Amino acid sequence: MYSTSSVGSFHTLLQDFTLEGMMMRYSRFVPRLYNFCLSLGMEPGKIMPSRAFCSDESQGFPIILIAKQFGTFPFNHGVVGGGVATDRHGPHASHGKDLVIIQASHVGYDPETRQFGSYRRNQTADCHQGSNCGKLTDVMSWYRDEYDFACDNIFLEPVQQAGHQISINNLLLQTDREDGLILALDQLIAHDSTGNPMLIRALSTARRYQTTPDLVARIGDSWPTETRRPIGRMLTADLFSFRRSRLGESEQQSHLEHNLINPMPWILTDAAPALAAAQVHTQVEFDRTYRTLNKEKGYQHRNLLFIAGLNIDISPREDQIFPLTKFIPWAAYVQTTDGDHRILEQQELYDALMASDSENPHKIDLEEAIAVMEQTKEVSISFDFRESPGD
């Protein structure tokens, strides 16, 4: 069972993940990445790229560009939601001389509403907007329901002569639950000199308490004076955590959920929850994955680049085939044949990519490559090996 006893440290989780000024079109990012690989000593025509993307069709355009710039279809390192299948390191290592892994969580963006997490599905009957990344949204839904319940069932009572009081649903007072939103009750309920909660009334489905001076100060003039009202979004991330005994229905979903459960309060209360979730997932996946690379025998004494970032899928117009996908780099792990290895943090990685040429002389013409295959003389496949020599 995974649980969160304190999530206070997670409020700084995203503070160094810069978005503004770090974004680049995929059509510029991938050739720069290729040329950066060459600057690390990798050999043209001998690089095997691998992508750890979500299975969403919106990730197809980046994959096409990777194939065009690297001259080969990338190996698949990805699991649902953009996680990295670390058990595929060995097979990847055997498929090329020099090796690249690109990990990216993704999030949709609707330029008309300026909302993250939304994406137009042109292949649907009515070209409707859908969630993106859908798997991240699906994982977050249980937690969002728990949070919404708490927001609607914790009441700020009108200010009385006796002071400020708060009513809390009985379910939310059960801190020993295996599953659910767990309130930081010491920050909500005042205690007397003996350490006991200052209970005012025991209601049929709730308890009313004297509240803490800290909560009163936080809410300030927003505290109701005439009619009780739900605490709503004033239930901030440091006032609760989540506990869940079973994460997801499958191993892959459990992995994604495990990455998000601790910072989930900060994700749900962020101005753009889908974007925050994708950022957190990218950070956790980079940290987790890079620690597995030097343990893989196939990667030892090899040129290897592992780069992680965020794919932003700009919702396509109805007349567009592909989205205008942009990439925001986060971090990279560089390893060379002589055993040297280092981490590039976001600004250093961005500068290295921007210093690399956005034109790639080794890129392939996909239409021409397909035409060559179509025009190549037919190869006859024989199944004679099934016959025994004596026949």
What torsion do the CA atoms of 262, 266, 272, 277 make, to the nearest 10 degrees?
-10
Helix (H) or strand (E) holding 108: strand 98-110
The pTM score is 0.87
Helix (H) or strand (E) holding 277: helix 273-293
Question: How far is residue 333 from each of residues 228, 291, 342, measured CA to CA in Å?
Answer: 54, 10, 6
pLDDT of residue 74: 95
Distance, in Å, from the CA atom of 115 to the CA atom of 146, rounded to the nearest integer, reads 23
pLDDT digits (tens, 9 = 90+) for 192-249: 989 899 999 999 999 999 999 999 999 999 999 889 999 999 999 999 999 988 665 4
Domain boundaries, the chain: 23-126+271-375
Mean of per-residue pLDDT scores for the chain:
88
The candidate with the shortest Cα–Cα distance to 70, out of 108, 104, 32, 113, is 32
Mean per-residue pLDDT, 259-281:
93
* Residue 338 in this model has a pLDDT that exceeds 70: yes
pLDDT of residue 365: 83
pLDDT of residue 59: 83
% of the chain with per-residue pLDDT over 90: 64
